[in-house]
Structure 1
Amino acid sequence: MLWNTVEQIPADPSVNGLVRINGLLTLELPYLEVSSVTMGPEPARGELFNVTVSIKNLEFAWYFVGLDFRLSYDPDLITPVAAYEGPFMPYWSSQQPGSLGTFWVSYFESDGSYGPHVLVGNMIYPNGTGRWNPPFPEGNGTVAIITFRVEYQSFGEPDLNCTLEIIEQTWVGLDSPVDQNIVDIPYDDPVNGVYTITTHWPGRAIDVYTQYPAPFGGQGFNQPSDMFWPQKEVILYANVTYNYWPVQQKDVAFEIRDPSGELWAVLVARTDENGVATTSFRIPWPCENPEDLFGVWTVTATVDVACEVVNDTLQFHFDYLVEIFKVTTDKFEYNHCEDVEITIEYGSHAQQTYSLLLYVVIKDELGVPIGIAFVETTIGGAQFCSYKNGTAVVRIHIDKFAFAGIATIHVTAYNKLPSQGGFAYCPTYGDGWPIGAEIPTIAIQPY
């Protein structure tokens, strides 16, 4: 109501108003995170390991272009030997049109006011005119990979550790993508890492493995080896130790059984000055149905160390290095001058990488090769007891000279051509293998 000094003043009906208060949303602060590493409990003195330093929680609106930091460590336990640029900054540089790449620098500072530490600097270069173009970095990613060497480990003492600590850091960005004045970016507290060196007295131990490099040879207790194929030699090693120290001149027994459990060999070899016993055998390849031996073979190794027997078990797959599971065409009937699309499904138990050459040949009804195609690739990456599968597609043209009738498709896997010293990994698909498969056919029409 409104009044003057005498009476109430007439007024129109009131109208409600609206007050809007806009809150300022502050950007979340980025921070650095250092990975933690544990070495041991086996002897690790002199071994190398990597520590990563990663950017976390970076918002694009900081218009980030670079940073530096100092990472401290305990020089009594570890020593830095190398530092490498992580993928984060090069990736964002590659996304910015015209960027001249990245600047990277690292130093190992052994003394000074900060004590022993690693100094790292990383920046995205602008374009040739001195300007940065969007998109600007955001998210998470590794900016540095630092390699350390283990300097101290003492068995019988408690586990030792030290903090991998970010002791100083600077983040820089732009005040805006238009003005592009360099400004400091505020940041959150880092997540520091911890290095730990452990020890353990395992006592008597034996580890049986094959000739493949670690980890593919089954190195480690009860670990499987990569696969073997027909008539490939299996070399067996047994490392005998007591509290990690080699036990010499001990006779190790090796028992070898096929997938059905049938015993094929019991062998003995003596450990050398390094505590390693070595023997070998080739898997039998009988005259009848040799593929019946395909599957998981088992090797058991035992040794008596001071009147106590210890053992280890190793398994591996025995199979063709490549198995062709299925061959299909896009249709059955073809006219002359048409293309045949052939799909090949294959797989391998191989964990290591090998070259693969798939050759496809079409022979017409009178046995004339009328077309050939190949696929060059690799196999590998399988997990134990599982196939790593692949698919390949080729097209072969049916020339006019091909005889009409039922043509056959012959698909075989090689490592390389015979003229280059290559060999077949497996039989031609459908030529007796796999069981139940037949050589694929198509019908070439008289058109």
Structure 2
Amino acid sequence: MSMTRKIISLLLVILLLPLVACDTQEEPFVMPQETDTLVIYDTPFLTESLLKAITLFRAQYPEVSVEFRRFDSVNNGDITAYHTMLYAELAAGQGPDIILESDTFTFNIGSFKRMESGVYADLEPFFQHDENFQMSDYHEIVLDAGVFQGKRYAVPLSFVSSYWLTTQEILEEEGITIEEDLQDYTSLMNLLQDYRQSNPEKRLFYNIYARQFLNDMFPWNGLPLVNIEEKQVSVDPDKLHYVIDTYRDVFYVESIVNAPSVIPNYGFGLLNRETIFQQQGTLRDMMQAYSALKTTETPILVNIPSFDGKVIGSPNLLAYIRENSPNQLNAYRFLKIMLSEEFQSDMYADGIELPVLRNAMYEKTEKILSTACVRGGMTEYGMLEFSSVSLEEVNTIIDTIYEVDACVIEPAITDLFVAMLPYITREKDFEDCYTDLTNQLTLLLNE
């Protein structure tokens, strides 16, 4: 080829490059068009919260007709039937405009597959083009738990973190030092195992259903079970063996002698030395117990550390917008309502815990203290007397339970429990159960 031809060819390539780039560049994001409809499905355990959000939405957007569809499966508490119906509709390109997932048992590998298949919209462009939305107003670590394959398919609305309530007096009586015994997951579990063996008749905390508690506590250790993007089982078998052993010896209901049928509220289990830790189910319950314990003791909150000493949180309410929804703008507006201070600071429904909006966390805590921790009296457990909680204590409480180092969605916990139950109940050895687990997860990841 002559020098002239080479030069001409090079010039053609240079001229064509911008055209190729233009063809492959993604279309710029434009906010969806206005519509006058929004379709929302009633969701198990979230009816009250949805109705509150709908009331706020209608006040702000009276021109939009909200269709709130109810289902017998929700009224009957049949979570499985509800989600079977919902996911079938989504797969067919139908369903509500905005979708909520609150029950952690329903969040599984299939949830990520729905993201991957294009069922849900990427919400990052909505946030980026919304001048009234500031990511820094929210707990960004928690919000980023909804990012998958570089796209923000899910938006966490609330989360849970790993903390237990106890008192300084109990820790001193039991010889427990936070700096030494709660450094990481291994040191904590070794402490609890030793305590259980030395005190089989005493309780570490109150009975929690075995499956639910594994579901709650497993993410705390920071041990991933699967790599969804690589479609691989990623769990470390040695660490998993250790986790299941400690769970079986310490937490599983059959390892506890004389389990009571009633779990005392307001921290009476700690006060009466029936237990050394108390996992209060909600922020409201915990604050009531904290305020009541303060009357006679020094309540403290302790984090449950991961293997590397981090504090791990988990989203427990997620929102999605359907990719082919004709009402995406209204769905996004409804999502903004659920992210607003008015909604976030007043979330008391089942399954809704720590708000992702930072200001709402302080407002919700103060609201609980001023309304639910003021009036004592005789209870079935004894005389209840609340004590005031200072602003400094509130700040310490929030720092302990709110400032997580990481927030993870672990989609295979139910599969883990099912596979490991024969080992937990001592019917099979760990190796067989681990093989069953990896086979099941590999099948789910690749189907």
| TM-score, normalization by structure 2 | 0.21
State which structure, 1 or 2, has the greater radius of gyration over its C-alpha atoms. Answer: 1
Higher relative contact order (CA 8 A, sep 6+): 2
Higher strand share: 1
TM-score (norm 1): 0.21
